[in-house]
């Protein structure tokens, strides 16, 4: 029950902005009411509510189209993650388009009052779908970077092994490489859970799922710091190798 109330409250700003066009004749009046005037006011309120609702839907459809293109163009997006995001983006486009048609066909404020909240409550486009797209793309890109750094660490290890075989002292280089690998391990532990965590979130989980999205974003930020630290440690290892072989 509390979850339902929270959802309704989260959508109330949108609903209020779209429906606060109810004609002033709804209030008690001391003068006789002209039925024709009331009908005109009601028609105007319906038209204005529709216009605002359709504008809200168009704004969301434009955003979804942009995210769809970004998903298509993301070079390092995992194939399974891409398929999941595309399916959700396409379903959202279909759903909002159908909702727009229903709103356009509505003839009463009561019908619109039932339809308008769905713009937010059924999709959470900006609060959920957009962050999911951005976080999954970022996580997969960071996984790719981590993989490249792992390859670099293997190359550095091979150089250190040759250094030791040639009777040079590799201790400083090995210590730097060990730090690099430790940072990469922490980064991977932060990045790996993010896609599964956010891809599983649905509109029904909102707005409570906002905390999970914020946590995922914070984990990726921390992972980014770890990747940068790994890069610095790798450069230190390379420099230590150079120092070891310099007369």
Write out pLDDT tens, residues 68-88. Answer: 999 999 999 999 999 999 999
> Binning pLDDT at 50, 70 and 90, where does residue 20 land?
very low
Percent of the chain with pLDDT strictly greater than 90: 81
- Report whether 209 contacts 201 (CB < 8 A): yes
Find the range with the poorest average confidence among 30-44, 55-69, 168-182: 30-44
Mean pLDDT of 111-115: 97
Q: Tell how far CA 174 is from the center of its chain.
A: 39
Distances (CA, A) of 103 to 3, 45, 100, 124: 26, 13, 5, 18
pLDDT per residue over 162-195, tens digit each? Answer: 999 999 999 999 999 999 999 999 999 999 999 9
- Model's pTM, two decimal places? 0.84
For position 26, what pLDDT does the model report? 37
Nearest to 84 by CA among 146, 37, 36, 132: 132
For position 142, what pLDDT does the model report? 98
**Cα separation, 231 vs 241, whole angstroms:** 16
The domain ranges of the chain are 1-122, 124-247
| Crossing angle between the packed helical segments 35-73 and 79-105, to the nearest 10 degrees | 170
pLDDT tops 80 at residue 31 = no
For position 213, what pLDDT does the model report? 98
Q: Tell me the pLDDT of the chain averaged across its residues.
A: 88
């Amino acid at each position: 029950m509390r979850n339902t109330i929270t959802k309704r409250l989260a959508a109330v700003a949108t609903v209020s902005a779209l429906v606060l066009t109810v004609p002033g004749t709804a209030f008690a009046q001391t003068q006789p009411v002209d039925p024709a005037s009331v009908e005109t006011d009601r028609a105007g309120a319906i038209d204005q509510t529709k216009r605002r609702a359709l504008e809200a839907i168009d704004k969301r459809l434009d955003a979804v189209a942009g995210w769809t293109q970004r998903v298509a163009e993301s070079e390092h997006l995992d194939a399974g993650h891409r398929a999941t995001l595309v399916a959700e983006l396409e379903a959202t486009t279909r759903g909002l388009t159908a909702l727009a048609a229903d709103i356009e066909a509505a003839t009463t404020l009561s019908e619109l009052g039932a339809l308008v909240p769905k713009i937010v409550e059924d999709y959470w486009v900006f609060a959920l779908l957009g962050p999911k797209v951005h976080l999954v793309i970022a996580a997969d890109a960071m996984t790719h970077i981590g993989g490249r750094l792992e390859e670099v660490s293997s190359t550095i290890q091979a150089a250190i092994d040759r250094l030791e075989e040639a009777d040079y002292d590799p201790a400083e280089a090995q210590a730097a490489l060990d730090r690099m690998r430790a940072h990469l391990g922490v980064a991977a532990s932060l990045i790996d859970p993010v896609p599964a965590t956010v891809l599983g979130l649905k509109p029904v989980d909102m707005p409570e799922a906002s905390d999970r999205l914020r946590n995922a974003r914070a984990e990726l930020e921390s992972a980014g710091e770890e990747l940068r630290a790994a890069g610095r440690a790798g450069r230190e290892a390379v420099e230590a190798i150079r120092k070891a072989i310099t007369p």
